[in-house]
Structure 1
Amino acid sequence: MSLMLPPESASAWSIVGVAHDLLAALRGEQGLLPRAESAVLVVVDGLGAIDLRAHAGHARALTAGMGKKDVATSVFPSTTAAALTSILTGVWPGAHGLVGYSVLDRAGDRLVNQLSGWNEAAIDPASWQVAPTVFETGRDEGRPVFAVGVAAYAGSGFSQATLRGADFVPAPSPAQRVALAYDLAHRHPGALVYCYLPEVDKAGHKHGVDSLAWVAALEDVDAALATRIPPGVGVLITSDHGMIDVPAHRQLVLDADDLQGIAHVGGEPRMLHLYLEPDADADAVLAGWRERLEGSADVGSRDEAITSGLFGPEVSSAAAGRIGDILVVARGNRALYDGTAADQRSRGMIGQHGALTAEERLVPLLRRGAFAL
């Protein structure tokens, strides 16, 4: 089956517009958010709207007053590298170029992990991701701009690609990060403050969305976000993607015969980028994958994905070069693995994302403080 986006509500917000909405609110421009003296953007990594509502009893602060319209749609693929970059730049993956978890650097003929592989691959974040960040735009307007996060992420290549322009301020726990973000917004009128909370995502990957560990992480985040918001500060709470549990018996492991004609397997288990050998018959390989995975995954070519708008309305030449020759998007709660790879650790992950289900693409969009007025 060819690739296409599922139908979406015309009134649904997109995470791509969050950066522009926040800046408009700070400028006092008419838009989706009311004016605020300062703004805090909280991203709870991996928190889908469906899973949040299913566990509302463990997230009373987050779900208080949450209505059907308090959601937004993530991007494709529904993974951190692509989605978080879209939130922080205001452009689609086809424009900023981070089109998956791992993608091919064609110049070096090697896969590059978009979260942690920048130094190893000697990739320059400024030239690989050229879209201006919301922090650079805010700084150019003379605003104080801050990113509050985990200390270990401060100097990473991904942070350099997505947090350019912001003063990075670390704090160890969700409660400390939220309190610090609110304090910075209060002490610096006109500020834009970003607060990143990765704990829910980590618990989901390791233990699954319905695990006690995931619930405990959600409760910690919920308690942190119950903190009183200073007057005049608008808070927008969202996520980059949701998550779905993949049990071991739903893993599809690809062997050497399956991968004939494939030079590199990139992406992630729920959304593969397949890069062909130079002499491969592209049409024959595509037809073979469609036949083998019928009912288990949607399979399409790069051209089909770009034409259908999966990566956004415009795709730069740089981004197009990083998209797989063939894309494989898992259906249901399946995941696909390269069984020939030396590193099989990812097969231990329970919670996963990257594909097109509502659980992965629908995220909360909650207005608090001055934005709730």
Structure 2
Amino acid sequence: MPPPHTAWGDAPPQALAPDSAPLPEYGTGSLADLLPTLAAGMGVPGTTAAIPELTPADRNCVFLIDGLGWQQLRAHPEEAPFLTSLLGSSRGGTGRPITAGYPATTATSLASVGTGLPPGAHGLPGYTVRNPDTGELMNQLRWQPWSPPGAWQPYPTVFELARRAGVHAAQVSSPTFANTPLTKVALSGGTFVGKLSGEERMDAAAGQLAAADRALVYTYYAEVDGAGHRFGVDSDTWRGQLMYVDRLVQRLAEQLPPRSALYVTADHGMIDVPFDEDHRIDFDEDWELKAGVALLGGEGRARHVYAVPGAANDVLTCWREVLGEQFWVASRDEAIAAGWFGPAVDERVYPRLGDVVAAARDDVLLIASEREPRESAMVGNHGSMTPAEQLVPLLEVRS
């Protein structure tokens, strides 16, 4: 692996071009395209079938498993026999990967799922981003500091569009998510059903599907992601979570009412990053990377960099020289032009993006040990545009 810094007097490394990054398949095969496709099949106005191979069904359920990437699932067939059986068409469905969207992180992906919009439109373009009204970093997963949800993300969710069209819409998740701002902006509309255990959620999701002739139901499980962050995506703990969620999917599949389709997907994949200086570059200890930077946003593999006034070009130049062989490093306008955040970026979203945006290509992490001690200690990480992070399963079971 190339060293993270170029020695004085050496020629600068050849930086990765922003338009060479492998883009998410916005409009044809991304998370933002899933619910609009299902809703369009139920005749919901204002939705479009962007994934045409999905056959319409009267009752649709999306089970989102946080952190279960396509590559990680394919690598563990023994732990997930039921999910692995869905990779083909043996059960009358299909199994293929779709892309998460950039960045491949939970808040961004859940907003893409629920609104049917790419990040440049829904406006949750990272783990932490600058709030232009306050100048502070805002954590969009925890919604800290608080900001008015309706102003931050003003578009209706697909669930709301479905409800208006007479479709029974429901979300089945942990009770702790019932009234969070992220739920409000990304997944609201219809009935929220709070259940603590995975088994209870599967049973409740099946019940919500059967509650009406036309239904759109969402359910969620978080702990595969948690195990990956803490212990890594090949740890015994992670494998145990995969075995458990495999049983949950089978439990739900076996309860599907007639004329139903179950879609199993995820919000992102994950990679394990070694704990050494070649793989973990510490922003808080690097005077070159810190020069001219007012705020460091995003996360270790998908950074938003906010420069002090007048320093954006210098920060871009420095970051390319230091990281350009390992990260795609772009100015805000270059990242937008390359389509990182979707085909367009709304005016309200534009200043939330970093003056410089950096996405990891190699198995490296740009940590911030002082500012982000908890995040910097994670084994498993995600956020960027590599296949291990971007590709998530789209598995189907029909009744």
For Structure 1 versus Structure 2, the TM-score category normalised by the shorter chain is: over 0.9
CA distance in 1, matches of 2:188, 2:211: 22
Query: Are positions 1:72 and 2:98 aligned together?
Result: yes
Alignment of 1:156-175 (within 5 A): 156-175=180-199
CA distance in 2, matches of 1:44, 1:333: 23
Cross-structure match for 2:33: 17
Which of 300, 309, 329 is the equivalent residue of 1:269?
A: 300
Which of 112, 115, 132 is the equivalent residue of 1:89?
A: 115
Please list every run of 5 or more consecutive structure 2 residues that lacks an aligned counterpart in the other structure: 1-15, 89-93
Cross-structure match for 2:266: 239
> Cα distance, 1:230 vs. partner?
2.2
Change (3 A) 1:200 1:63: same
Normalising by structure 1, we get a TM-score of: 0.93
**Cα deviation digits, residues 207-232 of structure 1 (max 9, x gap):** 11001111111111110111212222
CA distance in 2, matches of 1:283, 1:82: 27
Cross-structure match for 1:222: 246
Alpha carbons 1:48, 1:243 under 8 Å: kept: yes
SS at match of 2:199: helix
Alignment of 1:177-192 (within 5 A): 177-192=201-216
Quick one: which amino acid aligns to residue 3 of structure 1? P
> Cα distance, 1:164 vs. partner?
2.2
CA distance in 2, matches of 1:237, 1:215: 18
Change (3 A) 1:8 1:277: closer
Greater alpha carbon shift after TM alignment, 188-197 vs 253-262: 253-262
> Cα distance, 1:293 vs. partner?
1.2
SS at match of 2:172: strand
**Cα deviation digits, residues 3-39 of structure 1 (max 9, x gap):** 2331678997221210111112323998432232211
Which of 337, 340, 348 is the equivalent residue of 1:310?
A: 340
Greater alpha carbon shift after TM alignment, 58-67 vs 70-79: 58-67
Normalising by structure 2, we get a TM-score of: 0.87
Cross-structure match for 2:219: 195
Quick one: which amino acid aligns to residue 47 of structure 1? L
> Cα distance, 1:194 vs. partner?
0.5
Which of 47, 63, 68 is the equivalent residue of 2:68?
A: 47
Quick one: which amino acid aligns to residue 42 of structure 1? F
Cross-structure match for 2:165: 141
CA distance in 2, matches of 1:174, 1:314: 37
Alpha carbons 2:300, 2:365 under 8 Å: kept: yes
CA distance in 1, matches of 2:112, 2:249: 23
Please list every run of 5 or more consecutive structure 1 residues that lacks an aligned counterpart in the other structure: none
Query: Are positions 1:358 and 2:387 aligned together?
Result: yes
Cross-structure match for 2:18: 3
> Cα distance, 1:319 vs. partner?
1.2
Cross-structure match for 2:91: none
Query: Are positions 1:150 and 2:174 aligned together?
Result: yes
SS at match of 1:291: helix
Alpha carbons 1:38, 1:189 under 8 Å: kept: yes
> Cα distance, 1:256 vs. partner?
5.5
Alpha carbons 1:175, 1:225 under 8 Å: kept: no
CA distance in 2, matches of 1:312, 1:292: 27
Quick one: which amino acid aligns to residue 369 of structure 1? R
Alpha carbons 1:12, 1:71 under 8 Å: kept: no
Greater alpha carbon shift after TM alignment, 11-20 vs 313-322: 11-20
CA distance in 2, matches of 1:191, 1:79: 27
Query: Are positions 1:289 and 2:331 aligned together?
Result: no
SS at match of 1:57: coil
Cross-structure match for 2:83: 62
Alpha carbons 1:2, 1:304 under 8 Å: kept: no
> Cα distance, 1:338 vs. partner?
2.3
CA distance in 1, matches of 2:190, 2:68: 24
Alpha carbons 1:12, 1:73 under 8 Å: kept: no
> Cα distance, 1:205 vs. partner?
0.8
Change (3 A) 1:340 1:268: same
Query: Are positions 1:205 and 2:221 aligned together?
Result: no
SS at match of 1:56: coil
Greater alpha carbon shift after TM alignment, 321-330 vs 166-175: 166-175
How many pairs align?
A: 366
**Cα deviation digits, residues 229-277 of structure 1 (max 9, x gap):** 2222211111111111112112110126121110000001111100011
The root-mean-square deviation of aligned C-alpha atoms, in Å, is 2.0
Alpha carbons 1:27, 1:35 under 8 Å: kept: no
CA distance in 2, matches of 1:365, 1:307: 28
> Cα distance, 1:175 vs. partner?
2.1
SS at match of 1:20: helix
Quick one: which amino acid aligns to residue 304 of structure 1? E
Quick one: which amino acid aligns to residue 323 of structure 1? L
CA distance in 2, matches of 1:156, 1:9: 29
Alpha carbons 2:69, 2:390 under 8 Å: kept: yes
SS at match of 1:13: coil
Quick one: which amino acid aligns to residue 195 of structure 1? T
